[in-house]
Chain A
Amino acid sequence: EVQLVDSGGGLVQPGGSLRLSCAASGFTFSDYWMSWVRQAPGKGLEWVANINPDGSGKYCVDSVKGRFTISRDNAKSSLYLQMNSLRADDTAVYYCAKYSDYCMDVWGKGTTVTVSS
């Protein structure tokens, strides 16, 4: 069964850092692009970042550039999102997703990030 398990969320103060993880199973992780998508409370979905199969290509939304870094470890079938300089408007549920042919075909259950003092 194809599965993504995201983790690492929590409560962090403004300006703080957090690292999200996503463990993949049931497919050849190293063959696929991966994505992070977030959803603020009561709001819609927002794409955050993509990474290509070997990790050499990374793309992110302007609002997180310079603060968030997407990475992966293909040996561990894991995806990461390093989030620095966190702000209140980064508060959201963060989902990792398998990205195939420009769509997110498999999603994790999400991990909640709350930025508050």
Chain B
Amino acid sequence: QSVLTQPPSVSGAPGQSVTISCTGSSSNIGAAFAVHWYQQLPGTAPKLLIYDNNNRPSGVPERFSGSKSGTSGSLAISGLQAEDEADYYCQSYDSSLSGSVFGGGTKLTVL
């Protein structure tokens, strides 16, 4: 059971938009620790996609955006492309565990 809760799967057709939620608690996201998002393409290492709730590292398309409210964060992907098919993980810091925590991951299928 992951500390952060994500839906196991989401799907959308090319060109559509999807949103992935990440729900935490008062010791992590709710304690003002930022939400970060990672993309893991099949057979590869994770890659930082969004940091500090809503910032994109250099090279990440504007189609990817993040937000945070209360004890939850969200990743939005617009204009879905086949290459977006991957697993997506949220991550934050947990003060009661004194370490990082991840969501269980969400598999995005582009129909």
Contacts and interface: CB of A to CB of B under 8 A. Distances in A.
Interface stretch (A13-21, A22-30, A74-82, A101-109): A101-109
Contacts of A47: 91, 99-102
**A contact residues, range:** 20 to 34
Contacts of A109: 44-45
Given A44-B102, A45-B38, A59-B98, A103 B89 contact: no
Contacts of A59: 98-99
A103 B105 contact: no
Interface residues of B, number: 28
A17 B44 CA distance: 26
Majority SS at the chain A contact face: strand
B91 A103 contact: yes
Interface string B71-111: 00000000000000001010111000111111111000000
A46 B89 CA distance: 11
A60 B98 CA distance: 8
Interface of B: 2, 33-34, 36, 38, 40, 44-48, 51-52, 57, 87, 89, 91-93, 97-105
